């Protein structure tokens, strides 16, 4: 466990130094500009792989009454697979035999990370990402089907993941 944490720390230092070395090398000619590396890039490079949710909370944002559920606490599960290019697959299985599968791409924009969902590719949605030790926290708006009736509601989603 300690070796993994040390490797994470070394990876962070290497990426930080790369950013420091690349930025001054940029010329004033815009055609030769190299995009600066931001916190979003560092987080994205650190979350490639498969993650298992220890918490997956969904709360409606436009429903009356408000509905809320933690799928994991209710006996379901959720996992997240992220590829090096930011493509992801999010699987959520609640009481329904069929999991809800969401796909898209995480895109770094400086210090921010946006989500482009495959079901709405023309919209970028800002999400909050925090990587602390070996825990990944993600929060943002998405669609979730509370009643398993094929009709998804707009929700605020909050996930807590650990590496698989």
Q: Is the pTM of this model over 0.85?
A: no
Every domain range in the chain assigned CATH 2.40.128.360: 38-163
Q: Which residues have CB under 8 Å from 64's CB, separation 6+?
A: none
38-163: CATH number: 2.40.128.360
SS (H, E, C) the chain: CHHHHHHHHHHHHHHHHHHHHHHHHCCCCHHHCCCCCCHHHHHHHHCCEEEEEEEEEEEECCCCCCCEEECCCCCCEEEEEECCCCEEEEEEECCCCCCEEEEEEEEEECCEEEEEECCCCCCCEEEEEEEECCEEEEEEEEEECCCCCCCCEEEEEEEEEEEC
| pLDDT tens, residue by residue, 44-101 | 888 999 999 999 999 998 878 889 999 999 999 999 999 988 999 999 998 777 899 9
């Amino acid at each position: 466990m300690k070796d993994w944490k040390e490797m994470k720390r070394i990876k962070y230092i290497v990426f930080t130094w790369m950013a420091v070395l690349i930025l001054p090398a940029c010329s004033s000619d815009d055609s030769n500009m190299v995009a600066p590396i931001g916190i979003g890039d560092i987080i994205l490079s650190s979350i490639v792989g498969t993650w298992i949710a220890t918490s997956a909370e969904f709360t409606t944002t436009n429903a009356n009454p408000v509905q809320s559920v933690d799928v994991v606490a209710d006996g379901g599960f959720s996992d997240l697979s992220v590829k090096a290019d930011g493509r992801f697959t999010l699987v959520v299985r609640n009481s329904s035999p069929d999991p809800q599968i969401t796909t898209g791409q995480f895109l770094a924009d400086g210090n921010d990370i946006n989500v482009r969902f495959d079901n709405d590719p023309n919209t970028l949605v800002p999400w909050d990402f925090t990587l602390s030790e070996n825990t990944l926290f993600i929060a943002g708006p998405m669609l979730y089907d509370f009643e398993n009736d094929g009709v998804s509601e707009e929700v605020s989603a909050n996930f807590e993941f650990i590496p698989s």
